[in-house]
Amino acid sequence: MDPLQHSGPHLHFAPVTVWLVTHLSVDRIDKLRALCLQWHGPIAASIWLQPTLSSTDKKSALRSIQQLVDDIKTYKNLFSCNLRVVRAENKFNGSYAEKISSLLSFTPRLKSSHSVLSAELYPVNALRGAAVDIVVECVCGSNELANPASISNTVVFVIDVDMRPPDLLCSALCYRDHQNSDDNMLAMIRQQCIVEEKFLVIPALELCRLDDNYEEDFGDDATSILELLHCKETAQLRYSLLSLNTAKKVRAFHSSSYFRGHCATLTERWLANVTAPNLSTNNSDISVVSLNYQEGWEPYGLIGLELFLRVGGFNRSFVGWHRDKIEFIRRLSAYTVGFVLFEDARGFILDWQPHAPTKSRRQTEKGK
């Protein structure tokens, strides 16, 4: 049997639920809060409590996590997301295959792995996997998110906590208030991610700096970032992207440090197409183009949960920083999963608060 053959019929008429899946260390709680303020659906987040944290710092981190959870429950006028978090401490026992095999009619490709949470190297894929475990448990378990969602109509949007989608994309993917959602986009996601079982690539952008030095005060960049994230209309967003692109102030994420990582996403062509003067502003006109896999590619994007589980998810034994999604994307390509890009100005994520390289990144680059 083909390894990617459907395990059963899909529910073509049930609404698609898009989960935002992310991971972070405790010093990024403020960034998770920012995502929670934007997102209108379910969020699964795994939070790493570094082994080097003192008892005082650990208690402070736990209070920050609990405060965010409480705020989301209390301030419904500010938050419209549903957050589920898991804490990872000391050692993550990746009982991934055993945990979900009883829930599914197929066995995930990767076996369980044990990832030591190093004091120096960030356990990125173990954390991503732990966050997806939250989705599986919520979708298959008995809670308020279990109905009408199911494995066959759930899509995961896996991004780093440093990346943010524009408000317009969050609204279009809204799963609760369908008056604010874009049914055409949800229909496109269903067709591409669930029916055709493709990986829907979302371009990752960053703003250029003349010297690429990272500063806490972003100056003019802060204004551009806010404009991109909080545009109220698609036409306004297209104009902002066009202005930045014309001034050569926007580019593919990490294109200066690792060009191959997002090269195959064809970000420059995407920018040109979504800002073209003759492009229709009708949101019902969502064009999709195929992308060709290239070695070293590690895009962000959306994928059906069933497909994600069937190919084995992320390799949780990978620790460190940089080139962390390459093996997963290579495996998708080996299983003949197609990659597509939808040419819509709303469809991107932005490195919204650039920062100096972390200690984990510096240690990884040194080969330690």
Poorest-confidence range of 174-188, 205-219, 243-257, 281-295? Answer: 205-219
What is the structure's pLDDT at 121? 76
Structure tokens at 271: 């920018």
The model's pTM: 0.83
Give the residue, 329 or 151, on which the prediction is more confident.
329
Categorize the per-residue pLDDT at 321 as very low, low, confident or very high, splitting at 50, 70 and 90.
low
> What confidence tens digit (pLDDT) does each residue in 10-57 have?
434 567 899 999 999 999 999 999 999 999 999 999 998 887 888 999
Mean pLDDT of the chain: 80
> What confidence tens digit (pLDDT) does each residue in 130-181 have?
899 889 888 877 544 444 448 889 999 999 999 999 999 999 997 555 555 5
Domains, the chain:
17-365 (3.90.550)
